[in-house]
Amino acid sequence: MNTPKPAIPNTTVTRNVHDLDRTTDNIYESLVIISKRANQISNNMKEELHGKLAEFASSNDNLEEIFENREQIEISKHYERMPKPSLIAIDEFLNDKIYHRNPSKEQK
């Protein structure tokens, strides 16, 4: 649980559309970049969560053990409180932390 908590809001934030197309000059291209990055973040978070929860898996689970495992519940709650992957991706995009390129633009 030593993952540093990013300073990304968990609530709805109104975004200026012109900020999103600042680097690409195309809002749709920016949204594709953000969505691909959000998918990467989501997959990484999912793998990390499954890895941590796999430690608690046993071959002979009974209902009492499932409901009484506090550590597993705390891990799940931690991941539920984390910012959504789309919010993280938007923040990274707006702060120029995502490397992106468009091969069709490079050829011209």
| 88 burial via Cβ count (<10 Å: 0-12, 13-18, 19+) | buried
Predicted TM-score (pTM) of this structure: 0.78
Q: What is the mean pLDDT of residues 29-52?
A: 95
pLDDT in tens, 60-103: 656 555 555 788 888 889 999 999 999 999 999 999 999 998 88
Cβ atoms of 83 and 6 closer than 8 Å: yes
Decide if pLDDT at 44 tops 60: yes
Q: What's residue 85's pLDDT?
A: 94
Q: What's residue 1's pLDDT?
A: 46
Apex 50 CA angle, 88 and 97, nearest 5? 20
**If we measure between CA atoms, which residue out of 42, 10, 31, 11 comes closest to residue 94?**
31
pLDDT in tens, 25-38: 999 999 999 999 99
Can you state the angle between helices 85-94 and 27-54, rounded to 10 degrees? Answer: 130
User: What is the rounded CA–CA span in Å between residue 87 and residue 85?
Assistant: 5
Can you state the angle between helices 27-54 and 70-81, rounded to 10 degrees? Answer: 170
The more confident residue out of 49 and 56 is: 49
Rg of the chain (C-alpha set): 19
Residue 57 pLDDT level (bands cut at 50, 70, 90) = confident
Q: What's residue 64's pLDDT?
A: 58
